[in-house]
Amino acid sequence: MDGQHIIDRERLFGAQNYAPLPVVLSHGRGAQLFDVAGKRYIDMMSAYSAASFGHLHPRLVKAARDQLERLDIVSRAFHSDNLGAFCQELAEFCGLDACLVMNTGAEAVETAIKAARRYAYDELAIPPDTAEIIVAHGNFHGRTTTIVGFSDDPNARRGFGPFAPGFAHVPFGDAGAAERAVNPSTAAILVEPIQGEGGVIVPPRGYLSDLRRICDRHGILLIFDEVQSGFGRTGRDFVWMHEDARPDGVTVGKALGGGILPVSAFVARRALMNVFTPGSHGSTFGGNPLAAAVGREAIALMREEELSARSARLGAVLMEAIEALRSPAVIAARGRGLWVGVELDPALARGKDVCLALLRRGVLAKETHETVLRLAPPLVIEESELLEAIGALGAALEETAAARAG
């Protein structure tokens, strides 16, 4: 069946909750993907960081296969032989004490919200059902009803209310505004240390460490959502490590599953994790043996292949190559490590048009908010592949600008 028939069938029988580019992918390795006709593409998106190790990394595939030869899933009504080791290795990798393993990033954030609220009532003496969590404008933490309730993206919110109360919004990157929002009902500050869906928005240096000091001063929790930014994406294992702003809790996911299957977790200080008691939270698939096996191998790969350092080195190459394009269609390029947002001049280039022009040249990327091109290739990408993709970007920008001018 050709690609168009596959697309048509998906449109007929699937929900239209995404607007994918017109390409049907069938196989891949590393930073390369191939469509049903055999055309090669360089992956500059890595499934929003879920494929940070590239596609079908042989060690991750082996870990999954080896586990599937022994045991797939058991209920958390019983113990499995690798969950404890996974939790220890993940907690140590995150610089914290304990884990609650789930499946998706949104589940991890929901878990963090529940933990912060119960901690507020049990430990901070906040009256029941009054706890408030400070969040940032422009946030993206997932798509559950609770989470979209504190988003300010109208497309994410429309038609899904009523929404849960208990969230206060402040400008992202403004630590002073966050402190002014603290009140006797405040339980926590919850932010993405870099806003990905918002357009790879990097806050001012010192913002994260300022939030840490604010939370310490007021005796409240600091929780970072590193589902997309963690595991080396920005050139450190986690963004908070750029400023030594260790949080009380962190949400992780995407890359944790190695691109093999969904694995996420809320990782926290022991005192915060202790709010959970039997029956208070859980998931059928959370912490299953297959997920634990793949997650453990993902952590080992991060350490042994020094992927954070690789991201930092190649990130400098990526930024230098974008700046060397000197395209009038580019207003600015911002980011850290292998995570860059290219802000486009809407008079010269629309994000979707640039992505389509890149697609024709064998490069996969996606825009956000119409005017920002997001570049987040697998951390295992070769420098030659990276430069090839940026060369294609230069040609795509020229084509798009010429088409709009004509």
Q: Which of 225, 237, 248, 353 is catalytic?
A: 225
Q: Which of 35, 43, 231, 254 is catalytic?
A: 254
- Asked if residues 254 and 50 have their Cβ atoms less than 8 Å apart, the reply is yes
Active site residue 254: yes
Q: Which of 86, 93, 140, 266 is catalytic?
A: 140
3-state secondary structure the chain: CCHHHHHHHHHHHCCCCCCCCCCCEEEEEECEEEECCCCEEEECCHHHHCCCCCECCHHHHHHHHHHHCCCCCCCCCCCCCCHHHHHHHHHHHHCCCEEEEECCHHHHHHHHHHHHHHHHHHHCCCCCCCCEEEEECCCCCCCCHHHHHCCCCHHHHCCCCCCCCCEEEECCCCHHHHHHHCCCCEEEEEECCCECCCCCECCCCCHHHHHHHHHHHHCCEEEEECCCCCCCCCCCCCHHHHCCCCCCEEEECHHHHCCCCCCEEEEECHHHHCCCCCCCCCCCCCCCHHHHHHHHHHHHHHHHCCHHHHHHHHHHHHHHHHHHHCCCCEEEEEECCCCEEEEECCCCCCHHHHHHHHHHCCEECEEECCCEEEECCCCCCCHHHHHHHHHHHHHHHHHHHHHHHC
Active site residue 140: yes
Q: Which residues are catalytic?
A: 140, 225, 254
